[in-house]
Amino acid sequence: MLRFVKPGDIFCFKLDEDRYCFGRIITLMTVGHLSELFDIIKKPPGITELEISNARRIIGHQVNYNPKNLDGIYFALGIGDSCKKKDCYGNDFLISESEWKTLPKLSPKGGFDIKKRLEIA
């Protein structure tokens, strides 16, 4: 369940019939979890297809994980004169609409979105 997911959790998800992608949860955000994908794509990991299914699955945890280099990462939210950016620490800042247009939007992404971003879907 998503409520038990925490920073440092290592996960995998199925890319296609033969390959899996791996990543790590960085932090909790307003709309879900911010995660990073490792540059690792492998054949099925040492767990069963039933355990993995098509969803992301937690397969490990990095103890004492302390994310680094989060400064300067922002996501845009709001519209018009209520444009804001949110950092990875949960702080909101008012911004111009022109800056808002340059930032990734703060919105949840699912498996299809991630695969599309990886140009796999």
Determine the pLDDT at residue 53: 54
- The pTM of this model reads 0.76
Q: Report the number of distinct structural domains present in the chain.
A: 1
Determine the pLDDT at residue 112: 80
- The confidence band for 3, taking pLDDT boundaries of 50, 70 and 90, is low
Where does residue 25 rank: exposed (0-12), middle (13-18), buried (19+ CB within 10 A)? buried
DSSP string of 33-61? Answer: EEEEEEEEEES--SS-HHHHTTS-EEEEE
pLDDT digits (tens, 9 = 90+) for 15-29: 888 888 899 999 988
| Locus of tokens 């990734």 | 104
Highest mean pLDDT among 33-42, 50-59, 72-81: 72-81
Give the range of the structural domain holding residue 49, as residue numbers without chain letter. Answer: 2-117
Determine the pLDDT at residue 120: 60
- The confidence band for 109, taking pLDDT boundaries of 50, 70 and 90, is confident
Which positions ≥6 away from 108 have C-beta within 8 Å?
A: 31, 32
Considering the chain, what is the average pLDDT of its residues? Answer: 85
> 59, 87 in Cβ contact below 8 A?
no
Comparing 107 with 50, the larger pLDDT belongs to 107
